[in-house]
Structure 1
Amino acid sequence: MKNLFTIILIIFFFYKPSAALGEGTLSGGWKPVPDFAVDELNKEAHASIKFVKVIKGECQVVAGMNYNVTITVADGGAGKNYVALVWNKPWEKYMQLVSFKGPV
């Protein structure tokens, strides 16, 4: 049951904040799962990497929720693994990319 809860939280994490907070989506509708961490890194670093897959993830309850996720991304070549740390406070509609390290 704990693994199922973790998987559900990871899926929530990968929705864009506007989608995760219900803005512009229909209740009950299935949507592709974009990657917030990669989107934010692309904005901040003026990069164009692409999300490939989740390798592993874990969460931590703080003043909100921390998500520590290892993902594979592609930058025109072979995929490389990176670790993203995201802090989320959904009741404030707040999500911040804290760090994006790698390749690991």
Structure 2
Amino acid sequence: MKAQMHCFYLLTLLILPIYATARGGKHSGLDADGWQPITNITDESVQKIGQFAVFEFNKRSNSSLLFERVVKGESRFSDGFYYRLFLEAKHGAKTRNYKAIVLDQPWAYVRKLTNFNAV
């Protein structure tokens, strides 16, 4: 099973750049930096990455934000899957907007918050 997962991730690493290059035309949905909109923003995996971002931010900053939802997102691939998420979280009684960037490398069991800011 572990070998199958490694094979899947290796194939993904090989095919994704080819796919992105082939779709890199004028109407591909990619911006100049290679970010592509996440179309199913309510997907459980996207929401979990948003939860992770808030959890990590709280841990690092000794804060107590409460995750509400991801409202918009983009992704791209370079040395892993990067997610740029625009999310809502409660700060006290007020809901505020934040932008988080998360690196996900499932083949290496790595998920890391690289940036988190209020917007």
TM-score norm. by structure 2 comes to 0.61
Identity of aligned residues (%): 31
Runs of 4 or more above 4 Å deviation: none
Task: Give 1:11's aligned residue.
Answer: 44
Computing the radius of gyration from Cα coordinates, the structure with the larger value is 2
SS at match of 1:56: strand
Task: Give 2:87's aligned residue.
Answer: 71
TM-score norm. by structure 1 comes to 0.70
- Structure 1 residues not aligned, in runs of 5+: 17-33
**Count of residue correspondences:** 84
Q: What RMSD in Å do the two structures reach over aligned CA positions?
A: 2.5
Distance in 2 of aligned mates of 1:93 and 1:13? 17
- Structure 2 residues not aligned, in runs of 5+: 1-28, 30-35
Q: Deviations over 1:39-73 (max 9, x none)?
A: 00111011111011211001001111000000011
1:9 deviates by 9.5
